[in-house]
Amino acid sequence: MTVSPHQIRADFSAAMSEMYRKEVPAYGTLVEIVETVNADVLDRDDNALALTPGEDTNRISAERHGAIRLGTAEELAMMGRVFAVMGMEPVGYYDLSVASVPVHSTAFRPIGRDALAENPFRVFTSLLRLELIEDDALRDKAAATLARRQIFTDGAVALTEKAEAEGGLDTADAARFVAEVLETFRWHPEACVDDATFAELIGAHRLIADVVSFKGPHINHLTPRTLDIDAAQAQMVAKGLPAKAIVEGPPRRDCPILLRQTAFKALNEAIRFPVDGGWEEGQHTARFGEIEQRGVALTPKGRALYDSLLAEVRADILPAADGSNAEDYVARLEEGFAAFPDTWRELHDRDLAYFKYGIGQGAATGENLDALLDSGALTISPIIYEDFLPVSAAGIFQSNLGDEARSGNQTASSREAFEAALGKRVTDEFELYEAMRAASYTAALEQLNSSAA
C-alpha cells in the first residue's frame, strides 16, 4: 500500500525532532516550555491567540520548522526532489544578501489547507552564494571542497527515484526513506577541511565556513510553534537558556500578524580537524534553538504596510546584538505599529489580511459581505501565515553568527538563478493564501444559499 506523502512528512518530522533532542538537549527544554505555555493558552477562555479552533490548534504540538544551508545547485535540486516525496514544495524566495548574509533561500512546505492541517512541517532552505567570496583562491578551494562531498546516502537517492517512478512508496520503503534522509541532516563533528582553511573561510564569512567545512548540511535549528511567545521567552530566560534579547518581527498585539520569533544563541561545539592522519580539536557555533508564534497571513497591501512600518522603526533604531537597547527598540516598535489596525474585522475590511469564511448563527440579510458579517450569518477566522520573514531571518542568522558577520559587500541576488539551481519555480505565497480565501468564501456562500433555499 502506498503511504501518503503527508504521512511520510509527519514521520520524518517526528524522527528529526527525536534526533535533534539527542543532539541538542536544550531543544528538549524548549519543547517542554512551549508545550506548557500552549496548554496554558488553550485553557484560557479569552484566547485570541488560539486563532482558528480545531484545524490550527490540533496541529500545534506537532508543529515544527527546521533550517539547512546547502552548498551547490546539485544539492538544492536533489533536496527539492527529496522534499517532494514528503509533499513539500518550494514556496517564496528570500534574498538574504540585503542583510549581508551570502545566501538566498526558499521554504519547502506543504501547500494545501488539508495538507497543512495534517502536518505543517517545513524547512527553510538556503543556498550559499559562493560568488560572494572575494578571494579567487579561497572561492576555488571552497567550490572544490563542496564538489567532493555527497550529502545524500545511496539509499535516499534510490528511494527518491523509486518514489518518482512509481508515484509513491510502500510502508517498508517509506520507513527506510525517512531513516536514510535523516542522515543528510545529522551533525558530524569531523570537519572536512583543515583548521587553516576553516579559519580562512570564517574570515570570509562564518556562514560560508559552516556550509563548506562539513560532510553535510546539519539541521541548524528546529522550531516549535508557541501560542504566546512572550510567556515562552520569559521562561527561556528563567531556565537559563541564552535567549536572544528581542523577539523578531511585529510587536505583541491583540490580533497576531505574520510571525514572531526568538532564539537561544548557538552553542559552542567541539569539532575535529583532520591533521596528519589524526584529528585536532576545534570549536564551532552552528546549532541553536528557536521558537515562533504565528499570526494571520497578510495580503500584499498588509505586507507593504508591515514592511514600511518596520523599515521606519529600524531607520530610527536597530536592535544591538548585546541586547543593550532592547527596551527602547520594543517601545519604538510598538509605537510604530500603532498604525496597524488591531481587530480581525478591521484587518478584513481594509484588505490587510487573509481570512476563511464560515457559517454563523445570524440570519442572512442580502448578499452584501459587510451585511452578512454584521448580522453574523457569515463569520471570519484568520488564515495562518505559513512562511518566513527575510528581516527576521537575517536577525536570526546574525544572532548566531555574531555581529561581525555583517559584511559590507552585497550583490543583487537572483530569483532566476535560484530557480535554475533548484530546477523548478518557487510558488508565490500570496497566490496560495488568496486561493484558500477564495475557496472558503465560495463554499460558505454556497452553504448559505442552500440552507436559505
Binding region for Ni ion (CB under 5 A): 223, 290
Closer residue to Ni ion, CB minimum distance, 145 or 223: 223
Of 29, 38, 213, 220, which one interacts with ligand OOG (CB under 6 A)?
220
Residue 393 makes contact with ligand OOG by CB under 6 A: yes
Residues making up the chain, counted from first to last: 453
Rg, Å, the chain Cα set: 23
Closer residue to ligand OOG, CB minimum distance, 378 or 396: 396
Query: What type of residue is 262?
Result: T
Which residue stretch of 173-181, 328-336, 359-367, 393-401 sits at the interface with ligand OOG (rule: CB under 6 A)?
393-401
Q: Among residue numbers 103 through 132, which ones bind ligand OOG (CB under 6 A)? A: 124, 126
Q: What is the smallest separation between the CB atom of 185 and Ni ion, expressed in angstroms? A: 14
Residue 67 makes contact with ligand OOG by CB under 6 A: yes
Closer residue to ligand OOG, CB minimum distance, 258 or 305: 258
By a kind-dependent CB cut-off of 5 to 8 A, residue 392 interacts, out of Ni ion, ligand OOG, none, with ligand OOG
Of 261, 293, 381, 413, which one interacts with ligand OOG (CB under 6 A)?
261
The grid coordinates listed for 367 are 448578499
Closer residue to ligand OOG, CB minimum distance, 246 or 393: 393
Residue 69 makes contact with ligand OOG by CB under 6 A: yes
By a kind-dependent CB cut-off of 5 to 8 A, residue 273 interacts, out of ligand OOG, Ni ion, none, with none
The grid coordinates listed for 240 are 537559563
Residue 388 makes contact with ligand OOG by CB under 6 A: yes
Closer residue to ligand OOG, CB minimum distance, 75 or 173: 75
Q: Among residue numbers 407 through 446, which ones bind ligand OOG (CB under 6 A)? A: none
What backbone torsions phi and psi does residue 427 show, to the nearest 5 degrees? Answer: -75, 145
64 strand-pairing partners? 224
The grid coordinates listed for 345 are 474585522
By a kind-dependent CB cut-off of 5 to 8 A, residue 329 interacts, out of ligand OOG, Ni ion, none, with none
By a kind-dependent CB cut-off of 5 to 8 A, residue 433 interacts, out of Ni ion, ligand OOG, none, with none
Instruction: Scan for cell 555581529, then name that residue.
Output: 403
Closer residue to Ni ion, CB minimum distance, 221 or 348: 221
CA 252 distance to own-chain centroid = 19
Closer residue to ligand OOG, CB minimum distance, 67 or 448: 67
Which residue stretch of 52-60, 77-85, 113-121, 392-400 sits at the interface with ligand OOG (rule: CB under 6 A)?
392-400
By a kind-dependent CB cut-off of 5 to 8 A, residue 213 interacts, out of ligand OOG, Ni ion, none, with none
By a kind-dependent CB cut-off of 5 to 8 A, residue 398 interacts, out of Ni ion, ligand OOG, none, with none
Q: What is the smallest separation between the CB atom of 265 and ligand OOG, expressed in angstroms? A: 12
Closer residue to Ni ion, CB minimum distance, 123 or 305: 123
Closer residue to ligand OOG, CB minimum distance, 110 or 217: 217
- Contacts with ligand OOG by CB under 6 A lie at 67, 69, 124, 126, 220, 261, 290, 388, 392-393, 396-397
